[in-house]
């Protein structure tokens, strides 16, 4: 059984099949972005084991095609298995081994990037300082214990957890949170509006609002604005239901056991042990035109832990890399009064470089391992004075041409 499996997974036909499926998936997924948008298409086609199809009106989904994770994993196993099956140790095969290992590293690195990398945005107005970035699209329900005078304890529950589990019970909180309704994208109005329903909450500023669920945003320049009704459930019973929304500018306060809490639905935050202060932002244009020439942000990086305090210029293709975070110049405010930095946390960012170097060395090794013996033979042949290279004495196209040419010369003479 294992032998048969090994034979299957080490088959070169499987390699071709995976590559073909991969091509189809990339083509299909690219087209799907038109309707689904980039993020949804990425998740459904490439960051999934299977691609599903949902019949119109049905509540179930049918898997119809292997997804990116599936194809990538099979290809990885196939590559390793084929290497084990076909690889012959020896000096001449080191190049092949390096090429294979490089590709394996590329696949593994990409998988790690997909799972470990995190992208967020740091929006700074000129003169502003921040020590956290925010997710572009992910939201979190922040439950903030504001009782203590100096600091606040934050329990940040991802919105996806609330949706998936219908709530959260965290050991750090003396109560449970139940998401009674969660709209991943919504509209909220503070006046009675046609098509909107009254928000039915029992506590806080929710009862004076109307809302409705709207389709998820797919355009790159728009984001979902989630809203939810959550219920706080203590061991003694419910404290009531609250409206939380990305559109509310104030948190929803409540007290329990003589401690003060606030509820807030906000973009997911990623704190850093250092801060960036935007000193100036430049949006240079070519003279006499509105064509952008350069965007740059001069920031002051301050790390109070190690006393580091320095200015850094971030501009296109010149990111700041610091403590595992990379800050790219990504965008800016229309009034040029602020800068938006893309913050990328990617522990495996070096793997593509290593894999490319490995593949490059492997290719070079493999090429030279053929070229050098060939040149040696060629030199040996040309060293045989006056003796035309005999047909077949030198292998390869060049050799064959050489072998033919003297004959022609011979005929001419």
* Positions 89 through 108 that interact with another protein (CB under 8 A): 96, 108
Taking the complex as a whole, how short is the minimal distance between the CB of residue 174 and another protein, in angstroms? Answer: 13
Which of positions 257-286 make contact with another protein (CB under 8 A)? Answer: 262, 264-267, 271-273, 275, 277
The piece of 58-66, 124-132, 376-384, 398-406 that touches another protein (CB under 8 A) is 124-132
Cα-based distances in Å from 2 to 6, 65, 70, 82, 159: 6, 26, 20, 15, 43
- In residues, how long is the chain? 413
Stretch of 19-27, 36-44, 328-336, 368-376 contacting another protein, by CB under 8 A: 328-336
DSSP 8-state assignment for residue 388: P
The 3-state DSSP class for residue 396 equals coil
180 lines the binding site for another protein (CB under 8 A): no
Contact between 178 and another protein by CB under 8 A: the answer reads no
Using CB under 8 A as the binding rule, the residues of this chain from 204 to 233 that contact another protein are: 205, 208-209, 214, 217, 219, 221-223, 225
Is there binding between residue 322 and another protein (CB under 8 A)? no
| Axis crossing angle, helix 12-36 with helix 68-86, rounded to the nearest 10 | 160
From the list 309, 323, 391, 398, which residue makes contact with another protein (rule: CB under 8 A)?
309
Among 42, 160, 326, 342, binds another protein (CB under 8 A): 160
Q: CA 113, CA 111: separation in Å to the nearest integer?
A: 5
Of 3-11, 30-38, 54-62, 288-296, which segment contacts another protein by CB under 8 A? 3-11
Among 35, 58, 90, 250, binds another protein (CB under 8 A): 250
User: Is the Cβ of residue 59 or residue 306 nearer to another protein in the bound state?
Assistant: 306
Q: Are the CB atoms for 160 and 135 separated by under 8 Å?
A: no
User: According to CB under 8 A, which one of 39, 52, 65, 69 is a site residue for another protein?
Assistant: 69
Q: CA of 159: how far to CAs of 37, 42, 47, 227, 228, in Å?
A: 20, 19, 19, 10, 10
Residue 10 interacts with another protein (CB under 8 A): yes or no: yes
Closest to 358 in 3D by CA, of 368, 346, 366: 366
133 class by beta-carbon count within 10 Å (0-12 exposed, 13-18 middle, 19+ buried): buried
**338 contributes a contact to another protein by CB under 8 A:** yes
The pair of structure tokens assigned to 259 is 């401690």
Contact status: 247 vs another protein (CB under 8 A): yes
Question: Which one among 94, 154, 361, 363 touches another protein, defined by CB under 8 A?
Answer: 154
How does DSSP assign 195-233, residue by residue?
T-EE---SSSTTTT-EEEE-PPP-STT-----EEEEEEE
When the beta carbons of 68 and 402 are compared against another protein, the nearer one is 68
Residue 13 binding another protein, by CB under 8 A = no
């Amino acid at each position: 059984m294992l032998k048969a499996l090994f034979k299957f997974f080490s088959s070169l036909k499987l390699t071709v099949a995976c590559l073909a499926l991969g091509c189809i998936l990339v083509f299909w997924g690219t087209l799907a972005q038109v309707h689904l948008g980039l993020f949804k298409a990425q998740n459904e086609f490439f960051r999934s084991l299977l691609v599903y199809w949902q019949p119109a009106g049905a509540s179930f989904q049918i898997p119809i095609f292997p997804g990116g994770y599936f194809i990538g994993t099979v290809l990885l196993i196939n590559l390793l298995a084929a290497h084990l099956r076909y690889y012959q140790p020896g000096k001449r095969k080191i190049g092949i081994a390096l090429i294979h290992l490089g590709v394996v590293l590329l696949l593994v690195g990409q998988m790690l990037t997909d799972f470990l990398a995190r992208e967020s945005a740091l929006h700074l107005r000129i003169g502003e300082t921040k020590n956290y970035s925010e997710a572009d699209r992910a939201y979190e329900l922040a439950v903030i214990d504001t009782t203590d005078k100096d600091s606040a304890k934050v329990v940040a529950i991802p919105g996806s957890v609330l949706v998936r589990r219908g709530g959260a019970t965290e050991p750090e909180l003396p109560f449970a949170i139940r998401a009674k309704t969660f709209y991943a994208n919504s509209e909220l109005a503070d006046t009675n509006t046609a098509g909107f329903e009254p928000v039915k909450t029992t506590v806080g500023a929710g009862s004076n609002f109307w809302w409705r669920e709207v389709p998820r945003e797919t355009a790159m320049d728009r984001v979902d604005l989630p809203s939810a009704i959550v219920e706080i459930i203590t061991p003694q019973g419910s404290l009531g239901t609250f409206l939380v929304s990305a559109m509310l500018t104030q948190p929803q306060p409540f007290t329990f056991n003589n401690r003060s809490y606030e509820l807030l639905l906000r973009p997911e935050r990623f704190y850093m042990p250092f801060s960036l202060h935007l000193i100036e932002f430049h949006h240079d244009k070519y003279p006499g035109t509105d064509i952008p020439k350069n965007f740059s942000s001069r920031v002051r990086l301050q790390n109070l832990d190690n006393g580091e305090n320095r200015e850094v210029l971030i501009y296109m293709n010149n990111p700041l890399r610091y403590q595992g975070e990379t800050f790219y110049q990504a965008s800016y405010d229309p009034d040029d009064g602020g800068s938006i930095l893309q913050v990328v946390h990617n522990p495996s960012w070096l793997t593509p470089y290593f894999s490319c170097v490995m593949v490059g060395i492997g290719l070079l090794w493999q090429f030279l391992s053929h070229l050098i013996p060939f040149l040696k033979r060629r030199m040996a042949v040309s060293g045989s004075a006056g003796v035309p290279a005999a047909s077949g004495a030198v292998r390869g196209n060049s050799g064959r041409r050489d072998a033919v040419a003297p004959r022609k010369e011979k005929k001419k003479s």
